[in-house]
Amino acid sequence: MPRRILITGASVAGNTAAFWLGHSGFDVTVVERTPEFRDGGQNIDIRGVGREVLRRMGLEQTALDHGTGEAGTAWVNSDGEVAAEFVTDEMDGDGPTAEMEILRGDLARLLYEPTREVADYRFDDRIEAMEPGEDAAHVTFASGRSASFDAVIVAEGVGSATRELVFPGENDPRWMDLTIAYFTIPREADDDRMWRWYNATNGRSISLRPDTHGTTRAMLSIQKPPEVEQDWDVAQQKAFLQETFSDAGWQAQRVLDGMNNSDDFYFDVLRQVRMPSWSKGRVVLTGDAAWCATPLAGVGATLAVTGAYVLAGELAGQNDFPLAFSNYEKAMRPMVEEGQGVPKIGPRLMNPQSRLGIGLLHTALKIASQPALRKGAGKLFSREPTAPDLSPYPKAPGSTTNSQLA
Tell me the angle at which helices 374-381 and 355-368 cross, rounded to the nearest 10 degrees. Answer: 120
Are the C-beta atoms of 36 and 13 separated by less than 8 Å?
A: no
Host H or E run for residue 360:
helix 355-368
d(CA 183, CA 314): 37
How much is the pLDDT for 382? Answer: 58
Partners of 151 in beta bridges: 5
Say how many Å lie between the first and final Cα of the chain, rounded.
15
- Taking only the tens of pLDDT, the chain with its 406 residues reads 889 999 999 999 999 999 999 999 999 999 999 999 988 888 899 999 999 999 999 999 999 999 999 999 999 999 999 999 988 877 665 667 778 899 999 999 999 999 999 999 999 999 999 987 778 999 999 999 999 999 999 999 999 999 999 999 999 999 999 999 999 999 999 999 999 999 999 999 999 999 989 999 999 999 999 999 999 999 999 999 999 999 999 999 999 999 999 989 999 999 999 999 999 999 999 999 999 999 888 899 999 999 999 999 999 999 999 999 999 999 999 999 999 998 889 899 999 999 999 999 999 999 988 887 766 665 556 567 889 999 999 999 977 664 443 2
- Quote the pTM value: 0.92
Complete edge-to-edge strand list for the sheet that includes strand 204-210: 82-87, 72-76, 194-200, 204-210, 215-223, 174-186, 266-272
pLDDT per position as a tens digit, 139-196: 999 999 999 999 999 999 999 999 999 999 999 999 999 999 999 999 999 999 999 9
Antiparallel, parallel or unpaired: β 283-285 and 151-154: parallel
How much is the pLDDT for 351? Answer: 95
Domain boundaries, the chain: 4-68+103-173+273-339
SS3 call for 64: helix
Angle at the Cα of 144 from the Cα atoms of 35 and 125, rounded to 5 degrees? 20
* Tally of CA atoms within 13 A in the half-sphere of 398 that contains its CB: 3
How much is the pLDDT for 94? Answer: 62
CB atoms within 10 A of CB 260: 13
How much is the pLDDT for 210? Answer: 94
How much is the pLDDT for 361? Answer: 96
The CATH number of domain 4-68+103-173+273-339, selected from 3.40.50.11890, 3.50.50.60, 2.60.120.380, 3.40.50.620? 3.50.50.60
How much is the pLDDT for 16? Answer: 98
Overall size of the chain counted in residues: 406
127 sits in the region (left: phi over 0; alpha: psi -120 to 50; else beta) called: beta
